[in-house]
Amino acid sequence: MIDRRAFLAAPVALAACGSGEAAVVPIERPVPSLKSIAPFPIGAACMTGQLSDRVWSNLVSEHFSQLTADWEMKMEYILQRDGSFRFDAPDRIAAFARDQNLRLFGHTLIWYAQSHPWFEALTGDRARFAAEYDRYIATVAGRWRGQVVGWDVVNEAVSEDGQGLRDCVWSQGLGGIDAYILRAFEQAKLAAPEAVLFLNDYNLENNPVKGATYLRLVERLLKAGAPITGLGTQSHLDIDIPAGQITVFMRELAQFGLPIHVSELDASLRDDGRLPDLRPRRQRIERQTARVAELAEAFMALPRAQQFAFTTWGVRDIDSWLRRGDKDDGQDSPLLFDAKGGANPMFHAAANAFAP
């Protein structure tokens, strides 16, 4: 019998070329169904425009068991300027997930980046602001009660540099940063008591200072009685962070004993605004796959009860937020599948870690 893990990890072949250098000739490797080999749900972010895309839907059916709405479950989409709600797009995603027997994950109830005009107009009236805050969470989290398995209740509360927490319309309207977070979790628990309730943030593996601030926030909120029942790390990975850094953070995160969600995985090959990256593409892919492999292995090392789900922020490279608008140079490959639905090297890195 062939050892699947060894087979998936097989190295690329080298062939001679005219320059005297070795050219990379990938060995054909099987593409196992991720959801069939992973002992936990495999998730992907989606938008309604992708639901009728046959290549996308076939990949989802084969490899994924959970969906997260990319932005159509966010306040930016749902809440209108007059305080009314629209649910057409998130309802379509919920129906698709139900029809395809996929778990549905809710993203996100409260996010600093979406300071909605409806709430901005109420910041001088704390009682009204609080009532509308509660109404929004109750309406949205309650709409898919029993279907949504978890919610990103508060998203990205820690500042960009990790030195503190973000002051925003929510903290201003409710009298403090901890106050708005605590209230959001209390209201989410009332509206969706069966769902796992997550505090979600990014750059936690990439920036140890930010990771430490996040961990202190979790500890403080739990001591204050916040019903946080899950921890979300987005995992938009910097491919150049030191080896081992992801593993260290995942171990620290696991100390709370709560379910952990790798909630928005991607790994850009671009320089992200720094000096031009002149390294060969092959070298950057090697760094990318090493970081993804480390993340997948660190997640696999968690106790089973803490493995909530492993989610990528999109399915194919062309679905990625990193490939939208002027960000798309056609070269970045941050996700598991290429534009045609073929498995990228980072797919095999994850599959090798998940294989029994």
Instruction: Say what the pLDDT of residue 271 is.
Output: 72
Domain assignment present for 323: yes
Instruction: Say what the pLDDT of residue 13 is.
Output: 38
Domain assignment present for 17: no
Contact 162, 209 (CB under 8 A): yes
Per annotation, catalytic residue among 72, 132, 205, 264? 264
One digit per residue, the tens of pLDDT, for the chain of length 356 reads 333 333 334 433 333 333 333 334 344 567 899 999 999 999 999 999 999 999 999 999 999 999 999 999 999 999 999 999 999 999 999 999 999 999 999 999 999 998 899 999 999 899 999 999 999 999 999 999 999 999 999 999 999 999 999 999 999 999 999 999 999 999 999 999 999 999 999 999 999 999 999 999 999 999 999 999 999 999 999 999 999 999 999 999 999 999 999 999 999 998 765 555 778 999 999 999 999 999 999 999 999 999 999 999 999 999 999 998 776 778 899 999 999 999 999 999 999 999 98
Burial class (CB in 10 A: 0-12, 13-18, 19+), 326: exposed
Structure-block tokens of residue 349: 């890195």
If DSSP codes are grouped into helix, strand and coil, which group holds residue 251? helix
Instruction: Say what the pLDDT of residue 148 is.
Output: 98
Q: Is 264 a catalytic residue?
A: yes
The domain spanning residue 62 has which CATH number?
Answer: 3.20.20.80
Contact 267, 242 (CB under 8 A): no
Instruction: Say what the pLDDT of residue 114 is.
Output: 87
Dist CA 67 CA 93 (whole Å) = 8
HSE toward the beta carbon, residue 247, CA cutoff 13 A: 11
Domain assignment present for 100: yes
Per annotation, catalytic residue among 132, 156, 205, 294? 156
- Residue 83: which domain range? 34-354
Domain assignment present for 13: no
- The number of folded domains in the chain is 1
Helices 126-143 and 177-191: crossing angle in degrees, nearest 10, is: 40
For residue 139, CA distances in Å to 66, 83, 128, 281 come to 22, 12, 16, 47
- pTM for the whole thing? 0.91
Instruction: Say what the pLDDT of residue 205 is.
Output: 98
Domain assignment present for 28: no
Dist CA 66 CA 92 (whole Å) = 15
Domain assignment present for 25: no
DSSP label at 12?
A: P
Domain assignment present for 180: yes
Domain assignment present for 29: no
